[in-house]
Structure 1
C-alpha cells in the first residue's frame, strides 16, 4: 500500500534530506571527529561560501555573458569573410618555402666529384 505525501511526513518525521552540515555535526558529536581528511573525499566538509566568492562568481558570469554577446554578433558577413585571408596565407606560405630552401644545400654534380680523376687526360694526336 502506498502512502500519500502528507501521510509519509507523519509516518516518517525525518523525510527531508539531511544536509551535510547536520551529518558532520552528528559525526562530531558521536565520534572523535570527521573521518579522514575533512576537505577531500566523498564525505568532505562543505566549504563556507563567502561574499568574495559570490562577488567573484558574479563578475565571472557577467564577463561570460558579455563574451557571448560579442561572439553572437559577427564582425564580417559570410561574403566578406570568404577568402579574406587568401593573400596573407599565400605570402606566409611563400615565406615558409623560402626559409626551407635557404637551408637546403646547393646542387652537387658528379663531374665536380670526379674532376680529380682527369689529371692524366690529355688530347692525343
Structure 2
C-alpha cells in the first residue's frame, strides 16, 4: 500500500516537460532565422545601384577576367612539336660528313 501511494500520489510533471528545452531551442532558431531574413529584406529593398547603373556595370571586369583566364590557359599549354623533329633520330638515309 505504501508503494502504491508513493507511485500514485506523487506530483507528476506536465506531459511536455521533456520537450520544453527542444521547443525553446527551436523557437530561438526560428527567431534568429526570421531576423536574418528581415535584415536581408531590408538590405535588398534599398539597392546600392539603380537599375540603369546596374545594367552592364561589370562587363569590362568580366571581359578582363576572361582574357586573363585565356592567357593563363594558353601559358599552361605546351609548345607545338613537329613530328619530323620528334622522329629525326630514326633517319638513316642522311649523309654524314667525315672530317
* TM-score (ref. length: structure 1): 0.48
Q: Does 1:72 align with 2:61?
A: no
1:120 aligns with 2:94: yes
Distance in 1, Cα, partners of 2:64 & 2:94? 53
* Alpha-carbon offset, residue 108 of structure 1: 0.7
Structure 2 unaligned residues grouped into runs of 5+: 1-12
CA distance in 1 between counterparts of 2:84 and 2:26 reads 78
* Cα distance change, pair 113–57 in 1 and its aligned pair in 2 (3 A): closer
Distance of aligned partners of 1:101 and 1:77 in 2 relative to their CA distance in 1, 3 Å threshold: same
How far apart are residue 112 of structure 1 and its match? 0.9
Runs of 4+ in structure 1 deviating by more than 6 angstroms, as ranges, are: 52-56
Structure 2 partner of 1:18? none
Aligned residues: 82
Unmatched 5+ residue regions in structure 1?
1-20, 26-44
Aligned pairs for 1:78-93 (under 5 A) are: 78-93=51-66
Distance 1:93 1:107, change over 3 A: same
- Structure-2 separation of matches of 1:78 and 1:60: 29
Quote how far apart the aligned CAs of 1:99 are.
1.6
Could you say which structure has the higher helix fraction? 2
